[in-house]
Amino acid sequence: MDVIRRENPARVAEVVGRVPVTDADGVDAAVRRAGEAWREWAARPIGDRVAVLREAAGVIDGRTGELAVLLARESGKPLADCRGEISFALTYLRWVCDNAPRVLAPAEIDDAAGRLVVRRAPYGVVGCVTPWNAPVILAMVKLAPALAAGNAVVLKPSPLAPLAVSEVAAALPTVEVVHGGAPAGRALVTHPAVRKVAFTGGDAAGREIAAAAGSMLTSSVMELGGNDPAIFLPDFALSGDDYERLVMATFATSGQVCMAAKRLYVPRARMAEFTEAYTAAAERVLVVGDPLTPGVTMGPVISGPAADRIRALVAGSLSRGGTAVPLGRAVGGLESGYFVTPTLVTGLDDQAPLVTEEQFGPAVPLLPYDTEEELPARANAGDLGLAASVWSADEDRAFGLAARLEAGYVFVNTHNRTGMSLRAPFGGVKRSGYGREYGEEGLLEYVQSAVVHAPAAFRDGGAGLPATAYPA
C-alpha cells in the first residue's frame, strides 16, 4: 500500500507520521459509507445533531495540547498558533451549534394566498478538499455547517498536513477521511453520490476541482487565493501595537495565508516613516525559528519548492531594481528546515511579479502612491479579489474607499484574522472563488430550499383556476 510520509518542515529529516494513500476504490467505499450514514443523521432533529457536535467539541478540546504539537510538527506553524487554530475551530463549531437551529429552521406561511413551507434540506454526501496552511480550521468551516445541516462528509486533506485534521475529523459524526493527491481528489469530486463539493486552495487546483464538479453538475463552493492590498490613506495613524499587528497580518504562518496582507500601499510622503516603524515592529514581534521553541512567531515554509519559489521572487525583484529589507530575528539554527528570511521589498513597479502574483510566503512589496484617486485601479488590478484592508483615522473615509475595492472582504484598520468575525460571510470575487464561509451564508451553503405549497385556489373552499392559468 502506498503511504504519505509527512516530514517536519523545520527538521526535514524527521518523519512526523504516515497515512495510507486512498485509491479510487477506497474513495468509492468511503463515499458509500457516508451515503449509508447520512439519511439516519439527517432524520434526527437538528437539536439532537448539534448536541452530538457539542459533545465532539468537548472531546477535541480535551486533546488540544497534543493536537497542537502534532500540527506544529507537520505544518511548521508555531505552537501557539496551532493551539489558537484548534481553539478557533472549536469556537466556530460551537457558533454553528448555537445558530444552526435558527438559521436552518423551516419557514411557513399560511395566509390568504395559500400555505407555503420552505424547508432547508441537506444535500446528502458532501466532498471536502482542504489545504495545508490552516488544515483544522479550513476543514471545520466546511465540516461544522455541513454536519449541522444533516449532511455526511468525505474529507480529503492535503498530503502536506494530513495528521492533526484527521484526528479532529475522527471525533465528528458521519465523517469519512481519504488521503492522497490529485487522483484521490478527482475520484471524490466526480463520484456520482457526492452532491456538494467544498474546496479551499490555490487557483490551479481550484480550476481542476471546479471543472470536475461541473462535469457532474455538482454544486460547489470555492475559496481560492488572493493578492490582498493593504492601503494606508494619507491620514493613517498607527501606534506601535498597530504596526505589530500589521506585521503579523503579513507574516503569520510564514505568509502562507490566502487573506494575508500581500501589497502595502503608502503615501509617498510617508514612506520613510512607515518603513522605519514597520521594520522596528518586525524586530519586536517577528521571531523565526523552530515552531516548538517558546517565543517563536514564524516557522519554515511548507516545502522545499515553496522556499525556492519565494526566494526566486525576491531575487527577481532585486534584478528589477528593488531593495530587500530583511525583517525580524532568528533564534537557533535554521539549516535543517525550509526557512526563508522574512523580507520587505521596496522600489518595485506595479508590474513586478512580487506585486502581480500571490506570493504566499514571507515577502511583501511596499509601494508608494501620490493621489488617493489612483488607489482603486491599482488595488483592483489582476484577477483576484479575496480580501483587502483600508487604514485611516477617519472610519467613514475608509468605508468610502472600501466600497470601491473589488474584494469579497475589506478590513478597516486591521487585516487578516484579527479582522474576522464569525457572523460575517467570507469569500472572494473575480477569480478568488464563489460561495461563502462563516456567517449565516456559510451555513446556508450546505442546504437546498425544498418547497411544499398548497395554493389557496385548491384548498378547501378555494375557487380553483383554469388549467391554462398563470400564477396570480
Catalytic positions: 223, 258
| Host H or E run for residue 304 | helix 304-319
- The DSSP annotation for 400-428 comes to HHHTTS--SEEEES--GGGG--TTS-B--
Q: How far, rounded to the nearest angstrom, does the alpha carbon of residue 223 sit from its chain's CA centroid? A: 6
Orientation angle between helical segments 24-43 and 182-189, nearest 10 degrees: 40
Distances from the Cα of 9 to the Cα of 13, 252, 285, angstroms: 9, 16, 22
CB 45 within 8 A of CB 51: no
Quick one: which of 302, 387, 310 has its CA closest to 345? 310
**Number of residues that make up the chain:** 472
**CA 198 to CA 129: how far, in whole Å?**
6
Contacts of 84 (CB under 8 A, 6+ apart): none
CB 25 within 8 A of CB 353: no
Beta strands in 285-348 (DSSP E): 287-288, 323-326, 329-330, 343-346
